[in-house]
Copies of this chain bind each other. A is one copy, B any other.
């Protein structure tokens, strides 16, 4: 970090997958970036006291706590609360921390319900602190470059958007977990996966979704083996797909599934414009494909751009010499760096999503479910 950088006291809530990913990011960002504020790993909060101490020590947090309300309190000594918990426990700590004047970085999707998301957005609007939502793929260099090229007009007017997030781990042999219970998880593939590709599409195009034209929400696996050996109802969607149009007129399709054999983490986004196209596939995450339709048909074709060039590609300069690829976790580390830039008064290279921004993604997700319920198109203005 830069000399005399102001300390930023951080508390993290969550010690599972996202707890690890965020901890690593807070640890690593100051190693690779010169930051205008100095993040300090003050406290980690978790429910499971038994494992929390081991987590704290391993990941370098100074303190551990099982009381999220305490770290969100005005006098906790915490500047930023980082929320890495399940969707149904985002609102409580987020609103508490905002009301206490703190900054908040919250996992995606913003919340399990549109109503809660609206309250969070409103709380953020009324608060002094800044908000951030962990749509980590924005900070994948290839996605950030995609954003830049599209916003600079390199593909012209946007005509078509296609997003898929396909996984294959959710078959009937997977036992019952809380995440298959709609009461607790809110949704299945939809909130988990469509949330990402809707955010990415909004980020890259700079446009909002105006209308959902139709949707399918489907549960193929309706029961699963519970821990006690009985069969329990699996109530979340396995797949949600929907068609939409963006404010600028572009057509769009989105699909998320946990039952698509052969796809492990197939987070893809393609944008076709009047002057060219771009596409991204997270399974080959260091690469952006781009076709420039203004060049001669003789040598025109999809270019496989490896986004590892320090001079040209977002975030590449922070890491290794040119041509050395990065991985999944680096998106989080890049995001910590940009949070620090923003809190230091600077402007990140590509926009960070705040609660107001993430609320728009939530509107789209809700619009898709509503279209599936109605069997008819939904104008998203209804839901905002």
Contact = CB atoms under 8 A, between A and B. Distances in A.
A300 B300 contact: no
A49 to B, nearest CB: 18
Contacts of A329: 319-320, 324, 326
A306 B166 CA distance: 15
Interface string A249-273: 1010101010111111100000011
A171 interface: yes
Contacts of A330: 327
Contacts of A231: none
A375 interface: yes
Contacts of A160: 239, 257, 259-260
As for how many copies of this chain the complex holds, the number is 4
Contacts of A212: 214
A243 B241 contact: yes
Contacts of A304: 301-302, 304
Interface in A204-260: 212-216, 218, 220, 239, 241-243, 245, 249, 251, 253, 255, 257, 259-260
A292 interface: yes
B312 A306 contact: no
A71 B290 CA distance: 51
A252 B65 CA distance: 48
B298 A145 contact: yes
Interface residues of A, number: 97
A177 interface: no
A364 interface: no
Given A58-B31, A299-B290, A377-B376, A323 B218 contact: no
B325 A309 contact: no
A283 interface: yes
A73 interface: no
Given A17-B320, A241-B243, A290-B301, A261 B327 contact: no
Interface in A343-374: 371-372, 374
14 contacts: A17-B320, A21-B320, A159-B260, A218-B251, A241-B243, A253-B253, A261-B274, A261-B291, A262-B293, A263-B272, A289-B301, A301-B304, A324-B329, A375-B377
Given A30-B58, A298-B312, 14 more contacts: A213-B216, A216-B251, A241-B251, A242-B243, A253-B253, A257-B272, A262-B272, A262-B277, A283-B306, A287-B301, A290-B301, A296-B312, A298-B305, A301-B305
3 smallest CB-CB distances across A and B, nearest first, come from A214-B214, A264-B323, A327-B327
